[in-house]
Amino acid sequence: MTGELEMRIEAVKAALPKYEDAKRIEHTLGVLSECVWIADAFSLSDEDRTALYTAALLHDITKSKTDEEQLALCEKYGICLPADRQSVLSTLHQYTGAPFAREIFGDKVVCGRVYSAISCHTTGKAGMSPIDKMLFAADFTEPGRKYRSCMQIREYLHGECGKINKNDKAALSRLLDSTVIKIIGFTVTYLIEKGKKIDGEMLSAWNAMVAG
């Protein structure tokens, strides 16, 4: 990246302690490191790298807020949640995080692609962009995640990527899609087994991904 873009990333990173505790920052930097690996593996342009790295650093910016604070932010930003989503409080930070980050850092830093990636990094959504998918995957496969499923999918992504020629963009795209499908499939199965609600956006993402 150019010096200007690197300075922008470093400025965002330096601001994190205002919004996240040490443990959350550790996760955030883990997601960033996974995004750096993905950016290299997929030969992203400087523009795409900047969007992905910025989204990685800001994806959990409202994660530490209480349920009441999350709902207050939904009201503040005019986020109208469908009835099936209002009680899935664990996903609210993706919906509030995008406008909150834009309010703090401005729309030059939190451009449309960064905004989109933050707003679906937990559940996914129908019609995800490549940057959306990369952040979604990195949030699950970052090296700090020690759950067996996370490590298995990380090994799958890294291992299969090593078998693909970097110039074969179609094959890399298919691998990214299959990784996202695996993550959604695991998460939905886990939530069903635990008797927990599933955010409707994740079901929309699943249907869109498997439909091709």
Res 8: pLDDT:
85
- 36-87: pLDDT as tens digits: 999 999 999 999 999 999 999 999 999 999 999 999 999 999 998 877 666 6
CA angle, 141 as apex, 3 and 191 as ends, to 5°? 135
Res 131: pLDDT:
98
Both tokens of 90, joined, read 């664990």
The length of the chain is: 212
CA 31 to chain centre: 8
Give the total number of structural domains in the chain: 1
- 2-46: pLDDT as tens digits: 777 788 899 999 999 999 999 999 999 999 999 999 999 999 999
Report the pLDDT averaged over residues 90-102: 96
**CA neighbours closer than 13 Å in the CB half-sphere of residue 61:** 30
Full domain range(s) for residue 156: 3-210
Report, in this order, helix, strand and coil percent for the chain, each rounded to 5: 70, 0, 30
Res 19: pLDDT:
96
Report the pLDDT averaged over residues 91-101: 96
pTM of the model: 0.95
CATH value at residue 126: 1.10.3210.10
Report the pLDDT averaged over residues 135-149: 96
Res 23: pLDDT:
96
